[in-house]
Amino acid sequence: MLKALIATLGLFLGLSAQAQSLTCLNKLLPYNKHSGLHQLTRDEWNDEKEQLDTEGARSALTFLVNSRLLCKSGEVIIKIAPHCSTLLPDVPQSQSCFVFTNIGYFILSKDNGRNVNFIFSKDRRFSEP
């Protein structure tokens, strides 16, 4: 029984150390793809606004990276202020934001004013090595 407990504890500590050693890029792209999808629910993050704006996009991305994915400080740096626009003037849900960072870029949108959806893409033209 003691051996099983020690083995379980060792396995847990090993997995915990491995999870902490993952880079933010590994957490954003868990299956080694070129792009990844993430979502913050209204219960996790809510700015009380129906649509994203520059400030909200910056805040949502910071929350995703620091609080949800637990990335190390300074791993994701916003290089250019987020740019938000409405694609179809009569459809408020068509607003999206583009955020350029040091590791790639994000496209953010809100689904009916509730959840924030992120598309992350690692693109060598837009990111540092």
Kindly state whether residue 34 falls inside one of the protein's structural domains. yes
DSSP symbols for 5-60: HHHHHHHHHHHHHHHHH--HHHHHSTTS-SEEEEEE-TTT---S-SS--HHHHHHH
Residue 128 lies in a domain: no
Mean pLDDT (whole number) for 59-85: 93
Q: Is the pTM of this model over 0.85?
A: no
Show the domain range for 83. Answer: 23-121
45, part of any domain: yes
Domain annotation covers residue 114:
yes
Evaluate whether residue 126 is within a structural domain: no
State yes or no: pLDDT of 19 exceeds 70.
no
User: Who's near 116: CB < 8 A, 6+ residues apart?
Assistant: 39, 40, 45, 52, 60, 64, 108, 109, 110
Residue 58 located in a structural domain? yes
Number of structural domains in the chain: 1
Lowest mean pLDDT across 6-15, 57-66, 68-77, 105-114? 6-15
- Residue 15 domain-assigned? no
Range scoring the smallest mean pLDDT among 32-41, 54-63, 97-106: 32-41
Domain contains 11: no
